[in-house]
Chains A and B, each alone.
Chain A
Amino acid sequence: MSVTETTLKPFKEFAEKNGDYYATTFLKVQQETLSKWHVNKAAALGGFFWASLRANWLLFWIGFFIDLVALVYLGAAYKFKTATGSVLLDVEKFKAAGNEAAAQNKMFLIERYENWTSSSIMSAIIIFILGRIFFGWLADRIYFRQYNAWRVDHTKQSGSKTSRWVMLAVIVALIAPLMLYRSTQFAPDARTCVKQDRAIAKGEEFSFQDKFNCKVISDFPTLFWIDRPDKYDVKRAKDGTRYVERTAPTNKTPINLHTYTSGKIENVVKYLTGFYSYIFDGIVSVLNGLLGAITAIFAGTPWPIMMGALLAIAYYAAGIRITIFVGASLTYLALFGFWLTAMETLSLVASATCVCIVMGLPLGVWVGKSSRGKAIVTPILDIMQTIPSFVYLLPAVAFFGIGVVPGILATVIFAMPPMVRLTSLGIQHVPESTKEAALAFGASPRQLLTKVELPLAMPSIMAGVNQVVMMSLSMVVVAALIGAGGMGFLVTRALANSDTGKGVLAGIGIALLAMMIDRVVQKANNGQS
């Protein structure tokens, strides 16, 4: 197609100033003939000034960032330069006092600061020049997108107006001075600032600059100080009843919000474990019962029978190829002396999976069917999944002590969300029309659930179970930290003794265990559907 004046007209209309240049450039962009090394010289020279003139705020921030970084390096150079000066003064002092050794020590600092000064200046120059060239290279390519947006909606900003420099001035004034000041100062550390806070409370005076440095360019300041709360302890009286003993703090220095709240949390935990221990003991005994039964099956069965049973299950559920893999993995575990430990781990995983299914399935159905259930449960699941697993190890130990049960509970917290999510997903994906048909033939809500929704959601639910098993296995090592034992314990012990060889062997064992279960469960699922 030939290029005529009408082809170029919209480009010029958009660019206004320097229309001819932008018309040819944009045409090249459209024809995909723009040179790889094309740089907009006006943009490269003008930087973010150019971008704000053209109202391209993306380019403005890129350009502003480049210049700011260069400026901060210059500020740092200034900082090191002045530091050199003050060190030199010290050296003079030491020399005058005849302390040659101390002076020599400081000379080393001078050398280091001088190096930093020159390298900062170099960095500033390189960043500025390369940054501006990059900016110029980027400019027309991004500016073209603005043109496309403007084509769709002519109210979008176009052309070039110097009035836009008002906006630029505001932004620069808000950001640049503080950034520049920060780069020229050695920021005080948090400790210095806490000391300063306490000294001010006692009535000492500090210069404005010191206070400013602490409040603005150091860590976020401690806004208020709180008196220490009383300490609570749950004690047992001679007649066996429990009571709360309250002691006033001996240390009177005020504390910050963080310390205050963590103390309160500890008090709550103490109170709950002191007065409601029967609840936690109940949970522990129920889970211990479950675990005992499952362990009796896995670890109590003699190994020849157990191995045969596992192979048979693998064969019927997943076929010969996977059975060979399972056989090889079991042989590895047996030969390297992991058999009983692996069975312990399997018991832990099986118990955790049981709990996850028993709790997760009904919860998932509720979430899938009720919007309120979804609103309540979803954020809790998000929390369960995002909290790092180490975080809830501590409360688990506080409430349930050391051992396998808190390990199972920590595992459940970690592994249950996919069960709930996938169950609810499966329930939600049952077609509305199928449910309607079942209702039209007289299904009651219960029949609808058991005869239509759960069967149709089954593939999704089974995927959830598989996820639960996998995630439980991945928690084995973490749970071992609070005494869950099994293969995870071997890994943590190897870690503690930095015994690489043993760690690797146990790690491979866990991986094989996981792959074994995964393959069998997945194959069984696919075979069904």
Chain B
Amino acid sequence: MTNMERGKPVISCKNVWKIFGEQADQALEEIKRDNLSKAEALEKFECVIGVRDVSIEVYKGEVFCIMGLSGSGKSTLVRHINRLIEPTAGEILINGTDVGGLNAEDLRAMRADEIGMVFQNMSLLPHRTVSENISFALELRNVDAFTRAQVAEEVIEKVSLQGYGDRYPSELSGGMQQRVGLARALAADPEILLMDEPFSALDPLIRRGLQDEFLALSKVMNKTTLFITHDLDEAIRMGTRIAIMKDGEIVQIGTPEEIVTNPTDEYVAKFVQGISKLKLVFAHTVMVPVAEYEAKHKKLPALKSCPQAGTEDDLDALVAKAVDQDKPIIIMDEGKPVGVVTKDSLLHAIRGDS
């Protein structure tokens, strides 16, 4: 998709900087001028660079993953979107509105109506029932109790927590608590979801289940999601696009396939190394064009005797076709052969050699 097709971005950050410390402004000036590193800034100004010149644009309906290790500034960045943290420099626009320019009342209205947030440690209120927790944002906006109960009932169904509305959070398991967290974020029907490592604290099986449910839900509801994670597997499963952060900077932005097949630097490459390419790499990237194949080998073998596949088939599908026979796979596009995938090139692609 090009930017034209996507329309205007829902969230856009322009050159956002966050520097923690007492001499933040002075430090910013010098860091920009002399291009100081994180360690140098710490030594010189006792300032920590949280976010370093980040610009991102997130479009309607996208699940935009920000992936980075702890301390990379991803949680700090996401807190700028709803101004839980004020940027040192740069601006954040939501549907064209400058978040930094809002007064306190408008900011609260925006937080309550337009942005839902899910936290790693759930942060539910222990003295309120599940329903009361879910309708918290509505209560803050002075919505009446009857409407609140109705909305809560609806959202509870969406996250499949039927029958738990009148329980207290402490009676629920971790996975269920995070469903409540998700339901709370969805209750005010916000356009934007900010998810700060929502599934990191859960055990792997539950995490899988919740990821799938969220993906399904997200397709139906068409929310714009900013999804923070420290797990590249998760980012690849969830993300329409992924931004990789390191030391407060964004190292690379791209679709999962772009990141896996074409990492910009060593750092990203190291991450990608262990990732299975089977579902991420497609026939059109690994195939050798017919002309090239014919120049190297002889003629193309008879079409009928070979297995065939489309350009958008992933490696997993190609492997399934390649087993139990010796012929290369012919890649077809609109009924004509466009390329060839031999067993050798398939194996190389799985290993990630380029």
Question: Are B111 and A437 in contact (CB-based, < 8 A)?
Answer: no
| Residue A237 CB within 8 A of the other chain | no
- Chain A contacts for B123, CB-based, 8 A: 431, 433-434, 436-437
- Chain A contacts for B127, CB-based, 8 A: 455-456, 458
- Chain B contacts for A436, CB-based, 8 A: 84, 119, 123
Q: Per-position contact with B for A428-472: 1 when CB-CB < 8 Å, else 0? A: 000101101111111110010001100110100000000000000
- Chain A contacts for B194, CB-based, 8 A: 440
Question: Are B117 and A443 in contact (CB-based, < 8 A)?
Answer: no
- Chain B contacts for A439, CB-based, 8 A: 84, 111
Inter-chain CA distance A434–B133, complex, in Å, is 12
- Chain A contacts for B302, CB-based, 8 A: none
Inter-chain CA distance A452–B112, complex, in Å, is 16
- Chain A contacts for B109, CB-based, 8 A: 442
What is the CB-to-nearest-CB distance from A170 to chain B, in angstroms, rounded to a whole number? 43
Residue of A nearest to B116 (CB): A441
Residue of A nearest to B142 (CB): A447
Question: Within B159-206, which residues are at the interface with A (CB < 8 Å)?
Answer: 184, 188, 194
- Chain B contacts for A431, CB-based, 8 A: 123
Considering residues B124, B137, B188, which has the most beta carbons from chain A within 10 angstroms of its beta carbon?
B137
| Residue B155 CB within 8 A of the other chain | no
Question: Are A440 and B84 in contact (CB-based, < 8 A)?
Answer: yes
Inter-chain CA distance A456–B125, complex, in Å, is 8
| Residue B220 CB within 8 A of the other chain | no
Question: Are A441 and B184 in contact (CB-based, < 8 A)?
Answer: yes
Question: Within B40-71, which residues are at the interface with A (CB < 8 Å)?
Answer: none
Chain A contact patch, size range: 10 to 19
Question: Within B292-336, which residues are at the interface with A (CB < 8 Å)?
Answer: none
Question: Are B125 and A441 in contact (CB-based, < 8 A)?
Answer: no
Count A-B pairs with CB separation below 8 Å.
59
Report whether over half of chain A's contact residues are helix, strand or loop; otherwise say mixed.
helix
Question: Are B141 and A442 in contact (CB-based, < 8 A)?
Answer: yes
| Residue B343 CB within 8 A of the other chain | no
What is the CB-to-nearest-CB distance from B183 to chain A, in angstroms, rounded to a whole number? 12
Inter-chain CA distance A189–B116, complex, in Å, is 79
Given known contacts A456-B126, A456-B127, A440 and B115 CB-to-CB distance under 8 angstroms: yes
Residue of B nearest to A437 (CB): B123
Inter-chain CA distance A436–B82, complex, in Å, is 11
Other-chain residue from A434, A442, A444, A458 in contact with B125 (beta carbon distance below 8 A) = A434
- Chain A contacts for B140, CB-based, 8 A: 438, 441-444, 447, 451
Residue of A nearest to B190 (CB): A441
Other-chain residue from B108, B119, B126, B184 in contact with A442 (beta carbon distance below 8 A) = B108
- Chain B contacts for A444, CB-based, 8 A: 104, 108, 140
Inter-chain CA distance A31–B275, complex, in Å, is 55
Considering residues B127, B139, B184, which has the most beta carbons from chain A within 10 angstroms of its beta carbon?
B127
Inter-chain CA distance A140–B123, complex, in Å, is 56
Question: Are A442 and B84 in contact (CB-based, < 8 A)?
Answer: no
| Residue B121 CB within 8 A of the other chain | yes
- Chain A contacts for B136, CB-based, 8 A: 438, 441, 451
Question: Are B137 and A441 in contact (CB-based, < 8 A)?
Answer: yes
- Chain A contacts for B115, CB-based, 8 A: 440
- Chain B contacts for A437, CB-based, 8 A: 117, 119, 123-124
Question: Within A38-70, which residues are at the interface with B (CB < 8 Å)?
Answer: none
Residue of B nearest to A456 (CB): B127
Other-chain residue from A438, A440, A447 in contact with B82 (beta carbon distance below 8 A) = A440
Q: Per-position contact with B for A403-446: 1 when CB-CB < 8 Å, else 0? A: 00000000000000000000000000001011011111111100
Residue of B nearest to A435 (CB): B123
Inter-chain CA distance A442–B108, complex, in Å, is 4
Question: Are A433 and B119 in contact (CB-based, < 8 A)?
Answer: yes
Q: List 16 A-B contacts (CB under 8 A).
A: A433-B121, A436-B84, A437-B124, A438-B140, A440-B84, A441-B112, A441-B116, A441-B184, A442-B111, A444-B108, A447-B140, A451-B139, A452-B125, A456-B125, A456-B126, A458-B127
Q: Return the 6 tightest CB-CB contacts between A and B, nearest first.
A: A442-B112, A437-B123, A442-B111, A441-B137, A442-B108, A440-B117
Known contacts A440-B117, A440-B194; 7 additional CB pairs below 8 A are A438-B140, A442-B109, A442-B110, A442-B111, A442-B137, A444-B140, A458-B127
